[in-house]
Amino acid sequence: MDRVSEFLKKELQGFKSTEITGLLIVVGAILFNYIMLHDSKIAVVSAICGILYTVIAGKGKISCYIFGLTGSGFYAYLSFINNLWGNCLLYLCYYIPMQILGILNWKNHLKKETNEIYKTGVNKKDRGKLVLVSIMLSALGFWILKLTGDSHPLADGISTSLSLVGMYLTVKRCIEQWVVWTIVNLITVIMWFKVVSTGMRAYSTILMWSVYLVLGIYFYVCWKKELLQSDNANI
């Protein structure tokens, strides 16, 4: 019991009052969508878990994967019933296994005093390779999803392919993940707007991805600041 209490105490450390307030506002907005707009229950649960995962991951806390695994399951089902095969397979066959791997990797790179991960970055030599791989995967994803009858092959293909790269960088604790996630989030917001325009009630999903977009930019700035402080401390 003492270990659980100590773990929870460390997991709650480091959050700013503005971050907590913002999180409560977003969750409140999702619940408002559910009550007033009769949103999908699956979309609501997926959205809340997804946002909690992103915020806690942005703070470098390993507990993010609890919400990540739960949200991934619900989002995979939501994508399945909307014929977004790329997103569905991405979450079932990649996100869930990679998040389990993320737990194991992050566990070995935690700061004892705060339980936050040590953050890293991709070296200049490997950034070019990363861009090339991202372009190739996006082209391949578009081609495959077009053949399978995906409802939005271009957006789904690019977002799915870049998400492979983003999740890999997340597990590796690299700041570049937030650049990739920002691109993915922007494309996915547009894709879900098109889905909702056909009559599907998934307003919380649009809100979720819009919040992801803002969080991606916010946490890039936070991680950049921390890495710069770390570099200066080592000079």
- What pTM did the predictor assign? 0.82
pLDDT at 169: 95
Whether the per-residue pLDDT at 233 is higher than 60: the answer is no
Stretch 29-55: mean pLDDT: 83
Coil/strand/helix, residue 117: strand
**pLDDT, tens digit, 9 for 90 and up, residues 120-169:** 999 888 888 999 999 999 999 899 888 888 778 888 888 888 988 999 99
DSSP letters of 22-69?
Answer: HHHHHHHHHHHHHHHS---HHHHHHHHHHHHHHHHHHTTBTTHHHHHH
